[in-house]
Amino acid sequence: GNSVTQMEGPVTLSEEAFLTINCTYTATGYPSLFWYVQYPGEGLQLLLKATKADDKGSNKGFEATYRKETTSFHLEKGSVQVSDSAVYFCALSDGNRDDKIIFGKGTRLHILP
Amino acid sequence: DVKVTQSSRYLVKRTGEKVFLECVQDMDHENMFWYRQDPGLGLRLIYFSYDVKMKEKGDIPEGYSVSREKKERFSLILESASTNQTSMYLCASSLSNWGEDIGTSEQFFGPGTRLTVL
């Protein structure tokens, strides 16, 4: 079945460091791919998405490119801030009628000042 | 802005009690979802609904039921709460993209209800 695997956390970085959170997926067909973020005490919110191969999603300085050949959707940011501390979820939607999304287990990110 | 609200942020119940978790969305979304979130397990889908009075089991429906009498409201019911149902419960909603860009529909989440069953 369809699945998402992302790197386990926690990931701890200093402010202004470069961030990569790896995500790979298994899916039949052509899924849409997402990154969601959960700030402390809040629900999840969409960070960025890509709907077809080679698309790049971007938002708030974060980027991820839909790589079909490597079945990956790695999240990157050039210079992280303390306010980026959160849990990040990679996810896919396989396009079925029910619009379900399959989530990875989440990666907790700590940014030190 | 889409708003998804959940009836309580924190809830403490006793084993065997019947528990109702309410979720309301204000953007006329067709789809609504209930997840539970546990450390190390991520989000797991309990039930979802793509229309009024329609419901479908997710990955872990055992011990739960749902009700969708109105489009904007989706209730999760724990018929007899148990300690292993202590968790964070998240509600979400999305537009139906059926027949259009299937699978690109963003889900909007509520703030969550942290339920403790003693």
Those residues with Cβ within 8 angstroms of residue B64's Cβ, 6 or more apart along the chain or in another chain:
B34, B46, B47, B76, B77, B78, B79
Q: Quote the CA–CA distance of B21 and A47 in Å, as a whole number.
A: 27
Instruction: Looking at the complex, report in whole angstroms how far the Cα of residue B102 sits from the nearest Cα belonging to chain A.
Output: 5
Mean pLDDT of chain B: 91
Give pLDDT, residue A62.
98
Asked whether the predicted pLDDT for residue A56 surpasses 80, the reply is yes
Give pLDDT, residue A98.
61
Q: Quote the CA–CA distance of B14 and A112 in Å, as a whole number.
A: 40
Instruction: Looking at the complex, report in whole angstroms how far the Cα of residue A79 sits from the nearest Cα belonging to chain B.
Output: 26
| Contact yes or no for A108/A21 (Cβ under 8 A) | no
Give pLDDT, residue B47.
96
**Cα–Cα nearest to B88, from B106, B108, B109:** B109
Q: Quote the CA–CA distance of A39 and A33 in Å, as a whole number.
A: 20
Give pLDDT, residue B40.
85
pLDDT grade for A1, boundaries at 50, 70 and 90: confident
Q: Quote the CA–CA distance of A77 and B82 in Å, as a whole number.
A: 42
A87 touches chain B (CB under 8 A): no
**Which member of B40, B98, B105 has the closest CB to residue A105?**
B40
Instruction: Looking at the complex, report in whole angstroms how far the Cα of residue B16 sits from the nearest Cα belonging to chain A.
Output: 28
| Contact yes or no for B5/B110 (Cβ under 8 A) | yes
Those residues with Cβ within 8 angstroms of residue B1's Cβ, 6 or more apart along the chain or in another chain:
none
pLDDT grade for A29, boundaries at 50, 70 and 90: confident
B50 touches chain A (CB under 8 A): yes
Give pLDDT, residue A31.
87
The residue of chain B nearest to residue A8, with distances taken between CA atoms, is B40
Host H or E run for residue A3: strand A3-6
Give pLDDT, residue A30.
81
The residue of chain A nearest to residue B4, with distances taken between CA atoms, is A43
pLDDT digits (tens, 9 = 90+) for B75-84: 999 999 999 9
Residue contacts between A and B (CB atoms, under 8 Å): 67
Q: Do the Cβ atoms of A43 and B112 come within 8 Å?
A: yes
pLDDT digits (tens, 9 = 90+) for B42-94: 899 999 998 898 899 999 999 999 999 999 999 999 999 999 999 999 999 98
Give pLDDT, residue B102.
45
Asked whether the predicted pLDDT for residue B2 surpasses 60, the reply is yes
